Structure 1
Amino acid sequence: MGGIENMLLASIKSYKTKNIDIYIISNLGGGLDHEFVKKGITLIDLKGTNPFKQFFRLFYILKIEKFDIVHSQYSHNSGFLALASYLRKVPFFISVHNQKAVFKLSWENKFFLSTLRSLYLNIHKKLSLDFSSLIVGHSEVNLDYYSRKWRGNQKFFAVKNGIDFSNLNEQANSNNENNVAFKNFIYNASKVFIHIGSFKDQKNHSFLIDLFEKLEPKKNNYKLVLLGSGNLLGAIQDKVKNRGLEDFVFFAGMQKEIGFYLEKSDIFLFPSLYEGFGNVLIEAQYMKIPVCASQITPHYEAVYKGYHKYFFDPKDLNDAFIKTNKLIEDYDKCSLGTMIDKACYFSANFSVENMVNEIVLKYKARKREFNEG
Structure 2
Amino acid sequence: MTEPTRILHVVGAMNRAGTETMLMNLYRKIDRKHIQFDFISFSQQDAHYDSEIKKMGGRVIKLENPQSVKELYHAIKTFGPYQAVHSHTLFHCGMASCAAWLAGVKIRISHAHTTADKSDSFLRKLYQFSMSVMIKRFSTNLLACSKEAATFLFGSNYKSNKHYAYFPNVIDYTDFISQPRQKVMEFKMREGLGNSLVIGHIGRFIGAKNHEFLIEIMKSLVEKEPSIKLLLVGDGDLKHKILEKVQQEGMGDRVHFMGIREDIATILHCMEVFVFPSKYEGLGLVLLEAQACGIPCIVSEAIQPEADIGLGLITQVNLDEGASTWADEILNNAGNKEQDSTFIADHFEKHQYSPSKGIEKLMSLYHLNNGGTYEESINRFV
TM-score, length of structure 1 as denominator length = 0.84
Alpha-carbon distance, 1:13 to partner: 2.6
1:201 aligns with 2:207: yes
Which residue of the partner structure matches residue 4 of structure 2? none
1:36 aligns with 2:44: no
User: Mean alpha-carbon deviation: is it higher for 322-331 or for 204-213?
Assistant: 322-331
| Other structure's SS at 2:26 match | helix
Alpha-carbon distance, 1:243 to partner: 0.8
Which residue of the partner structure matches residue 242 of structure 2? 236
| Other structure's SS at 2:29 match | helix
Superposed CA deviations along residues 11-60 of structure 1, whole A, max 9, x for unmatched, are 113332694222223235323211211222122233333x2x2x112222
Whole-angstrom CA distance in 2 between matches of 1:343 and 1:323: 25
Whole-angstrom CA distance in 1 between matches of 2:313 and 2:174: 27
Alpha-carbon distance, 1:367 to partner: 8.1
The answer (yes or no) to whether the contact 1:203–1:272 under 8 Å persists in 2 is yes
Whole-angstrom CA distance in 2 between matches of 1:369 and 1:304: 30
Which residue of the partner structure matches residue 220 of structure 1? 226
Superposed CA deviations along residues 92-140 of structure 1, whole A, max 9, x for unmatched, are 11111111233xx3xx3xxxxx100100111111101111011110222
Which residue of the partner structure matches residue 57 of structure 1? 71
| Other structure's SS at 1:186 match | coil
Alpha-carbon distance, 1:295 to partner: 1.4
Whole-angstrom CA distance in 2 between matches of 1:337 and 1:31: 31
| Other structure's SS at 2:363 match | helix
Which residue of the partner structure matches residue 111 of structure 1? none
Alpha-carbon distance, 1:338 to partner: 8.3
Alpha-carbon distance, 1:343 to partner: 5.8
- When the two chains are superposed, the root-mean-square deviation of aligned CA atoms in Å is 2.9
User: Mean alpha-carbon deviation: is it higher for 275-284 or for 32-41?
Assistant: 32-41
Uncovered stretches (5+) of structure 2, i.e. residues with no partner: 1-15, 376-382
1:96 corresponds to which of 112, 120, 125: 112
Counterpart amino acid of 1:187?
G
Whole-angstrom CA distance in 2 between matches of 1:267 and 1:367: 45
Q: Relative to structure 1, is the Cα distance of residues 275 and 219 closer, same or farther in structure 2, using a 3 angstrom cutoff? A: closer
| Other structure's SS at 2:364 match | helix
Whole-angstrom CA distance in 2 between matches of 1:204 and 1:339: 32
Whole-angstrom CA distance in 1 between matches of 2:339 and 2:49: 38
Alpha-carbon distance, 1:368 to partner: 3.5
1:295 corresponds to which of 294, 301, 316: 301
1:354 aligns with 2:357: yes
Whole-angstrom CA distance in 2 between matches of 1:226 and 1:154: 42
Counterpart amino acid of 2:159?
R
Whole-angstrom CA distance in 1 between matches of 2:103 and 2:302: 39
Alpha-carbon distance, 1:345 to partner: 4.3
The answer (yes or no) to whether the contact 1:289–1:340 under 8 Å persists in 2 is no
Alpha-carbon distance, 1:9 to partner: 1.6
The answer (yes or no) to whether the contact 1:292–1:307 under 8 Å persists in 2 is no
1:311 aligns with 2:316: yes
The answer (yes or no) to whether the contact 2:275–2:299 under 8 Å persists in 1 is yes
Q: Relative to structure 1, is the Cα distance of residues 223 and 85 closer, same or farther in structure 2, using a 3 angstrom cutoff? A: same
Uncovered stretches (5+) of structure 1, i.e. residues with no partner: 109-113
1:148 corresponds to which of 137, 151, 156: 156
Alpha-carbon distance, 1:278 to partner: 0.4
The answer (yes or no) to whether the contact 1:136–1:158 under 8 Å persists in 2 is yes
1:322 aligns with 2:325: yes
1:249 corresponds to which of 255, 264, 268: 255
Alpha-carbon distance, 1:61 to partner: 3.1
Whole-angstrom CA distance in 1 between matches of 2:170 and 2:289: 10
TM-score, length of structure 2 as denominator length = 0.82
| Other structure's SS at 1:256 match | coil
The answer (yes or no) to whether the contact 2:18–2:285 under 8 Å persists in 1 is yes
Whole-angstrom CA distance in 2 between matches of 1:239 and 1:8: 34
Whole-angstrom CA distance in 2 between matches of 1:341 and 1:13: 24
